Amino acid sequence: MVPFAYFTIIVTSIFILISSLPPPSAAAPTGHQRQPPFKKIYAFGDSFTDTGNTGSATGPSGFSHVSSLPYGCTFFHRPTNRYSDGRLVIDFVAQYLSLPFLPPYRRHKAGPDSTSPGVNFAVAGSTAIKHSFFVRNNLTLNITPQSLGTQLVWFDKYMEAQGYCRAPRSRQCRAAMDEALFWVGEIGANDYAYTVGSSVSRDTIQRLAIKSVTGFLQALLTKGAKYVVVQGLPTTGCLPLSLTLTPADDRDALGCAATVNRQSFRHNLLLQSTIHQLRTQFPHSVILYADYWNAYRTIMKNAAAYGFQEPIKACCGSGGGPYNFDIFGACGSPLSSSCPDPSKYINWDGVHLTEAMYKAVSELFINGTFSHPPFKYLLSRKASAGGLS
């Protein structure tokens, strides 16, 4: 039997599968407003939000994953560096706000560009905690050294290159921050994944991850961010990856890995407490919490009502069985195959979700009751500040 620690190293690499194709051209906006309420979106996070910031690399078996079909097969009909068969939550948010898809930072042309709809700084495999922590504890392959701190540095460089915030508190800088939506995608799942089977406790990771996210949000708000959305962790215990690595008796009422879901739930409680404190500290900003955990759980409990026939099994994978997931035959490998209709599946490759699931989640954030305060409240605050004509 392969040692569990070795499984951990291979599994974490799945979170940092990397591709090299250029980003797709901007899609025609499909939002509901006649004029976009925001001129730009700045997005941060990990592979659930990444639209192409990771460079070229191969998976544990030597093959390239998301740079090849079936990744991207549903909407773009070609690989686009997204870890799904199609669009992500951030893509649906951009379309709802009548903006094109966000270009990834690493492939965004250098120099001033007033026509850009914003930038996506999210990186697959990114952690909330600084990469050096994992290096010191021998918990990483050093493939993806980026963290939220890295993304903040990229954001600062971008804003300076655009000429917006060379003087941080200038009128031009404030105007640039006022016209943007800051979308902080879920972050922290990789922090926990890196430490599975190690001597580093979950409590330590939770404390350090929340501290890092808090510092990151404080930095954005101090710079002048006025409209911020922060996603919590989803029910990561419902991913085939988690179900494969946990004992069969570690299951909750949804049939998901109970310990993993409890871990994400506790993380989210602390994150919400942090957001509450930040609202007090920055009363002129709107800080919205997007409840990924309960949105995902609601869909799982009513899968058929959302059009899903397979709530747990991976659409693209190998091995069959209840999860169709094998870490040695991941999606895109010669051993894998994909289902004929990803829209019937919640899970795409055992670690990431299908476009259909991302769409369902985004609709619960935008039009449902899983954003606190509601997303429409954020839009009304922007409109009252002169964001809409």
Active site residues: 47, 349, 352
Distance separating alpha carbons of residues 216 and 147, to the nearest angstrom: 10
Quick one: residue 214, left, alpha or beta (phi over 0 = left, psi -120 to 50 = alpha)?
Answer: alpha
∠ at Cα 64 (241, 197), nearest 5°? 30
The rounded distance, in Å, linking the Cα atoms of 127 and 129 is: 5
Q: Where are the beta strands (DSSP E) in the chain?
A: 40-44, 118-120, 180-184, 227-231, 286-290, 310-314, 316-317, 337-338, 345-347, 371-372
The angle, 0 to 180 degrees and rounded to 10, between the axes of the packed helices 202-223 and 258-281 is: 30
- The DSSP secondary structure of 236-279, one letter per residue, reads GGGSHHHHHHS-TT-B-TTSSBHHHHHHHHHHHHHHHHHHHHHH
d(C-alpha 363, C-alpha 386), whole Å = 25
d(CA 332, CA 240): 16
